[in-house]
Structure 1
Amino acid sequence: MEMVIDDIPPVLRLPTEVLLLIATLLDVEEVLTLRQTCTTWFKATNSRSLWISLFHRQQAYLPTPPGLGLEEPSHLQDVPTQTLERSVRSSNRIAYLWPRLRTSELVKLSRVHLGVTMMGMQLFLERWLLVVYSEGAIYVFDTKSTESEGAASGGVLRARVDLQGGLWSSYVASLDSSGEKIVVAIARSVPPYWTRVYEISLGFLGRTSGLFLDSAFELVQTITLPSPQTVRAIETTQQLVALYASRGVELVHWGERRNADQERMLLPAPPSDLEDLWNGIIAVQFMGPYILIFKTRSVELQHYAPILDPNHFVLPTLKQYVSYNFRDVTFSRCKESRSSTDDQLFSMTVFANDVIQGLYQIHIKLTIPHLNLSDVISEPLAAPPVLPSLDLAITDIYPLTMLNVHPTLRHGPLTPTPSFSLPQIPGASHVNGTGSMDIARGFLSAYAVGPQGTRAIWIERKRASTIREIQVWGLARAEDHESVAAGYERKVVYSVTSYDLRDDVICCTFGESSGIIILGNRSGDVSILALG
């Protein structure tokens, strides 16, 4: 017996708490390897606290799978240890495969050709694919169907609606707060000028697997407008849709029991200056009590709560100019949190495309001091003593010219007063994390950022070539000397060669957690590229 004790390695004589502490310092692969060495490590690596620690470490740079308490960490208490371990191992495997070449072929989804001109597509909950055409056709595919047809094709058409009646020019879609419905608003550009709001019941589709159900679409509201307007954003909690025309941004209630034609509110336009002559609105997004107005050369936040409730106190408009000419943008989901001083924080990741300089990642953070929130109760009409602030961090992701040598520019915190001149940025970094000499040789036909802002894709059409390259980007794990995760170099994962211009990719989306990539081409076809 004495010899057996002496044969035990000293590390195995340590308390279990120390063994767990050692395990938390290892990578997932090392933990799984250590588990196979002996019974002691097998028991230690099955500890719930270990997998919770690894899960939280991954959250800093990897997307969280749906249903694991992304917004509320306390929800992890109800998640079984086996589910946590399976999630961590799956995320680790997908992170390894995400930037690598894909050997599988594109799989085209079958559909009834009610539409040809694709306006856009979005993937919800890593499963439900929404595809919208300007002819008025809206499709919902189940990309994770267990039916034999779905397993063979990569997705099954589950619901469809045909709006007919002319050309539809713009749409927005969002998941409601319960995660059970997709809310879609689509605008018509020929008389009569309608904006229709539909709800798509995902719970209904999930309970009736394999069936084709047009009844999943429910028309909630038809908004009649005096002139054509572009639908820009939708907010499901307060049931608001943001429209844009020559007058500016207009908010409309779309609830079931509301008269949308009588509940239209125009956001007050800030004083115009010479900048506004060439600074048009390209995107709008709700961001807490503010509405984010993304323009060609500026970012603007307007407090919209007072136009809904005249008794609400007014927060100042925040505006900042940038030294770029952005043509279009794509947003991640807005995240809400609290600081150590109980300030209210709203943040989101934006990918914006300047056709001359390239693609940029912009991290937008809005800080509303805690004093403002408490003043609402005591003095609703009083001016808040501390002003909100806006902070922008701009990172060069995909340079198109040699002139682009400022990969990381930080703007802010910002005062509410607009400035005519472009701000000078002292101390800006001149080190390009993606390699400024690796200049792109083509142009971007489509791009998308994930709802959590941790991954992105884009499609490059090579100049003087028939090659279309699918490139991916993602956050990399922070090094020991870094406080936050940084992006790794873009990677080409798939290439398509075709002389047919109808094969040009004009829309794309992807599963941020699952890694699948979905492409829409000029002919209206939808294809899925699996991971691996």
Structure 2
Amino acid sequence: MLLALPDEVVLAIFQYLQTSDILSLRQTCTHLAEITKDKFIWVNLLQSQRGRLPLPLGARQNDEAEKWSAEALETLSPPVKLEERRGELLIGLEILLDRWIVAVYADGYVNLWDANEQVAQQQWSFVHTGNEKISSFQAVVHDSGTKLMVAGTKVHLRGEWKVALYEVQLSDPALEFTLVCIFPTSPSKSVRQLYPPGRIVAFSQLGSIDLVRWPEDLEGDTQSVSIVNPQFDELEEMFTTILSLRCLDKHIFVFKTRSIELHPLPDFDSDSKARSPSPLPLALRHNFPSYNFREVRISEVEAEERPAERYQRYTLRMLASDIIQGLFYFVVDVTVPYGYLESPLLDIHLTAIYAMTTHIPLPVRPARSRGDKHFRSERISRPIFDSPPSTRGPSSIRPREMFESRAMSRSGPGSGSGSGSDRDPSRTSSFVSTYAMGSQGMRAFWVERRRGTTLKQIVSCQLWPPPAPVSLSPSPPSPDLASDRTPSARAAESERGLGLEEEEEDSNVDEGDLDGDGDGSYFPWAIDGQTVYSIQSYDLREDVTYCALGEVSGKMVLGNRSGDVFLLETGV
């Protein structure tokens, strides 16, 4: 059939295919082989993957590239301390494109390292924003991939709040920071996203959102617009706040302490310098009635065009932390129809849980056989084992062999305290001090510590793709995870927008469920954590407070309370 079509039509069809599909068609006949050599196809593929670099979409089907190798863990070298730095009080870490490490300090310093292994001498640069204190920041690589942008809020002792926007040309060996613009902001606002395609800096303060657009020529005035939600319960809003958000072309995705919301993006008023907050009556909202999330990591947004079905779909993957109940991995699909009068749909799936409480029933993910050199441990969390002291002092960081952890985890009640929570992999007395997720939401790791000990464990896991669904019959579903609605009621909910309603004034907000299926036959799978490294230290200044993950190379960036930054190369 393709042979009967004009070459221009075939090239247009190839725009919707992946690289593996194009290469398969190349092997069918000489005519298609010649067409696939057209430069137009490969330029479009490169442009579509800029937002997903350095890991292309097709690599997600390669299971071998996503697993932690036993051989790599056995030969793991100690983390390398990044010696050159400026600043004392670390407030955040980022690693972009698996190469550029950004560390921001509250005392006004922004550090940038090049972690490229091919560079003989590690490049490092910094900028001092002034005597003002930095309270929040966001760092992102421009869509062109040629420059890095950093935005930070600064507070002066006199109470003046400003936002400084910097950019760094990544092709410049000096990695020099260039000040793009400075504009005032209101007190107590935090930077939540830097969106270069729309020249937008997004801020939040409690439940309100402020969007500021910097001028294209960098010489005009900034434009601002706000989003408030007076229709929601004011008492409920006192206990919830915005944790993160993402701009999705004409909509804004908002993750709050107890809910997820989708708002239309308001238009910027070009006739006035600023615009007073105006309520937007229509919004989609999904509540978490029994959870209080304190942090969330959101992957890069994946956009998918569906011209035949006349809609565009955005996919986001999120790892949210409830400090009492554990880590929760969500996959959210936002479907935006092409029609102006049609409402978008918000589809939320709780895919995996790292449980730390006893009331969440979870199946254990199937373990791999011992003969597989890439096996993962069948336990969700690691008990803290008594280990001999390190030869390099109590503050040293050293690897722990995965085989040792696996063998000791099977020792039963004798390991740990001997309580029931130690024997059940989904029950643990540990807590997560900090965690990180990759830019595409496929991998994650966290720093785990058990109460009463000074041993900190770095635990890694694979989040995507998920395993096959696991049934839990005879255990009844938990009221916090499963729905008690009838199938007809759930079908009616799906017709109204996948369990979500358009919020209007004086409307009742239904409490959403964390489980996408109400019959109790399918539950989120238990995150299978694997100990990669252990840190033994009595010094509180060496506690890991911030971290970041390079998803493709497996680079782990660790920052402690004293402001030191370490790079742990896992080799996978």
TM-score higher than 0.5 here?
Answer: yes
CA distance in 2, matches of 1:353, 1:74: 29
Alignment deviations for residues 236-288 of structure 1 (CA, whole Å, 9 cap, x no partner): 01101012236821111123535786522112434131321212222222233
Contact 1:171 1:185 in 2 (8 A): yes
1:192–1:320 CA distance, 2 compared to 1 (3 A): same
State the SS of the aligned residue for 1:440.
coil
Is 2:488 the partner of 1:449? no
1:179–1:434 CA distance, 2 compared to 1 (3 A): same
Deviation, structure 1 residue 367:
0.7
Counterpart of 2:130 in structure 1 is 164
Counterpart of 2:184 in structure 1 is 224
1:99–1:239 CA distance, 2 compared to 1 (3 A): farther
Consecutive unaligned residues of structure 2, counting only runs of 5 or more, are 1-21, 28-42, 272-279, 365-377, 382-423, 471-523
Percentage of matched positions with identical amino acids: 28
Contact 2:213 2:222 in 1 (8 A): no
Contact 2:92 2:104 in 1 (8 A): yes
Counterpart of 1:427 in structure 2 is none
Contact 2:214 2:222 in 1 (8 A): no
1:220–1:109 CA distance, 2 compared to 1 (3 A): same
Deviation, structure 1 residue 199:
0.8
State the SS of the aligned residue for 1:267.
strand
Write out aligned runs for 1:44-63 (5 A): 49=24
Contact 1:198 1:220 in 2 (8 A): yes
CA distance in 2, matches of 1:282, 1:470: 24
Is 2:114 the partner of 1:126? no
Write out aligned runs for 1:378-417 (5 A): 384=341, 386-405=342-361
Contact 1:194 1:225 in 2 (8 A): yes
Q: 2:171 is aligned with what amino acid?
A: G
1:147–1:477 CA distance, 2 compared to 1 (3 A): closer
Moved more, 264-273 or 291-300: 264-273
State the SS of the aligned residue for 1:278.
coil
Write out aligned runs for 1:343-422 (5 A): 343-372=311-340, 384=341, 386-405=342-361
CA distance in 2, matches of 1:247, 1:279: 7
1:99–1:522 CA distance, 2 compared to 1 (3 A): farther
Alignment deviations for residues 406-450 of structure 1 (CA, whole Å, 9 cap, x no partner): 689xxxxxxxxxxxxxxxxxxxxxxx9959743233211111111
State the SS of the aligned residue for 1:104.
coil
Deviation, structure 1 residue 475:
3.9
Alignment deviations for residues 120-173 of structure 1 (CA, whole Å, 9 cap, x no partner): 111111111111111111111111143444xxxxxx242211113131110011
Counterpart of 1:458 in structure 2 is 446
1:453–1:102 CA distance, 2 compared to 1 (3 A): farther
Contact 2:303 2:312 in 1 (8 A): yes
State the SS of the aligned residue for 1:135.
coil
State the SS of the aligned residue for 1:494.
strand
CA distance in 1, matches of 2:534, 2:361: 28
1:344–1:466 CA distance, 2 compared to 1 (3 A): same
Counterpart of 1:500 in structure 2 is 539
Q: 2:540 is aligned with what amino acid?
A: L
Q: 2:243 aligns with which of 274, 282, 300?
A: 282
Q: 2:215 aligns with which of 255, 260, 285?
A: 255
Deviation, structure 1 residue 182:
1.3
Deviation, structure 1 residue 344:
0.8
CA distance in 2, matches of 1:369, 1:396: 29
Counterpart of 1:527 in structure 2 is 566
Contact 1:325 1:354 in 2 (8 A): yes
1:279–1:242 CA distance, 2 compared to 1 (3 A): same
State the SS of the aligned residue for 1:218.
strand
CA distance in 2, matches of 1:356, 1:74: 38
Write out aligned runs for 1:36-51 (5 A): 49=24
Deviation, structure 1 residue 387:
1.5
Deviation, structure 1 residue 398:
1.2
Q: 2:110 is aligned with what amino acid?
A: I
State the SS of the aligned residue for 1:272.
coil
State the SS of the aligned residue for 2:171.
helix
State the SS of the aligned residue for 1:275.
helix
Contact 2:293 2:323 in 1 (8 A): yes
CA distance in 1, matches of 2:87, 2:461: 31
Equivalent residues, number: 411
Alignment deviations for residues 460-492 of structure 1 (CA, whole Å, 9 cap, x no partner): 12211111111111146677999xx98861111
1:98–1:331 CA distance, 2 compared to 1 (3 A): farther
Write out aligned runs for 1:103-122 (5 A): 103-122=75-94
Q: 1:351 is aligned with what amino acid?
A: L
State the SS of the aligned residue for 1:306.
coil
Larger RCO (alpha carbons 8 Å, 6+ apart): 2
- What's the RMSD between the two structures over aligned residues? 3.8
Contact 2:313 2:334 in 1 (8 A): yes
1:503–1:344 CA distance, 2 compared to 1 (3 A): same
Deviation, structure 1 residue 518:
1.2
CA distance in 2, matches of 1:241, 1:227: 16
CA distance in 2, matches of 1:88, 1:276: 39
Contact 1:316 1:387 in 2 (8 A): no
Counterpart of 2:402 in structure 1 is none
Higher helix proportion (structure 1 or 2) = 1
1:473–1:512 CA distance, 2 compared to 1 (3 A): same
Contact 1:265 1:307 in 2 (8 A): yes
Moved more, 344-353 or 437-446: 437-446
Deviation, structure 1 residue 225:
2.5
1:308–1:173 CA distance, 2 compared to 1 (3 A): farther
Contact 2:206 2:242 in 1 (8 A): no
